Structure 1
Amino acid sequence: MLVPSGPADFKHLFAIALGPASLGGYGNKPHVIMVSVTSVKPEFPHDAACVIMAGEHPFITHDSYVYYRDPRIESVDHVQKMVDQAVWQARESCSPELLARIRQGLKTSSRVPRYVKKMLD
């Protein structure tokens, strides 16, 4: 989905990488873990845990990567509210293969915060 984020609330593509599930430390209500996707820029290093080539998702027009450093943990209720209010915009789902790669990156990327890694155990 497209979610306003960053300094100018530019809408970035986020994927729901995990959930809905009860996540430790977040109560009994179901939550999701969301990760953003950003363009690969040759002049900057990027996390190679999950690179998405242009065209692998309809919204991706440039080679991109999953930015695991700042995952968002959101309640399902909040996600639904943001979509219902058109603050966030749902986009096409990832293919099962791409979703599997995004989830694998949560396990393998050294940039995933420790508290998130603990939730995955």
Structure 2
Amino acid sequence: MTGYCPFRKGTLLILSGPVNHLHIVMNDPVYYPERGYHGVLLVNISTVRDGRKFDSTCLFHPGEHPFVIQQSYVVYSEAVVKNAEDISQFVNMGEFTPRAPISDHLYERTLAGFHSSPRVTPKIKRFIKNYMQLE
């Protein structure tokens, strides 16, 4: 049986709190020696809500991705490196749902935000610097 493998620019619907949020896969799996597995960096987007503070570093507008129907923002503070094999298993079990990849333009905007958002943790900055091969 062939299974899902996370890939750069791929997206996944993952239950986060009471609702599914769109998560962006920022890199192809890469060996992550700090954890001893092949990892991918995931970051989710969330809907902008009136009266609630949010990180405005990178906004997604309705229609920029098929899942985005309201203005949304990238939640850099919740970016996380996950085991690529675990992601594959969750997709194959139906826990995570693959969606359409993001465009090159959205990927570049999202990636640029990792360098400018004040909410990116040092651990994530280190992963990007040391393990993501940026073209």
TM-score normalised by L of structure 2: 0.81
- CA deviation digits over 1:8-47, x for unaligned, max 9? 3x211111123322235122x3210101100112312211
SS of the residue 1:115 aligns to: helix
In 2: Cα distance, 1:32 partner to 1:87 partner: 17
Which residue number in structure 1 is paired with residue 98 of structure 2? 90
Matched, 1:114 2:122: yes
Structure 2 distance, partners of 1:60, 1:103, is: 18
Q: Which stretches of structure 1, 4 residues or more, deviate above 3 A after TM superposition?
A: none
Q: Is the 8 A contact 1:24 1:119 kept in 2?
A: no
Percent of pairs with identical residues: 26
Residue 16 in 1 paired to residue 25 in 2?
Answer: yes
- The Cα shift of 1:75 comes to 1.0
Query: In 1, distance between residues paired with 2:38 and 2:103?
Result: 23
Contact 2:80 2:124 in 1 (8 A): no
In structure 2, C-alpha distance between the alignment counterparts of 1:67 and 1:57, rounded to whole Å: 16
Q: Which amino acid aligns with 1:116?
A: I
1:5 aligns to what? 16
Aligned length: 118
- Aligned-residue Cα RMSD (Å) equals 1.3
User: What TM-score results when the alignment is normalised by the length of structure 1?
Assistant: 0.90
| Gaps in structure 2 of 5+ consecutive residues | 1-11, 130-135
Structure 1: where are the runs of 5+ without partners?
none
1:42 corresponds in structure 2 to 50
Deviations 1:54-88 (A, max 9, x none): 10000000000000111121111011101101100
Amino acid in structure 2 at the alignment position of 1:4:
L
Tell me the equivalent position of 1:25: 34
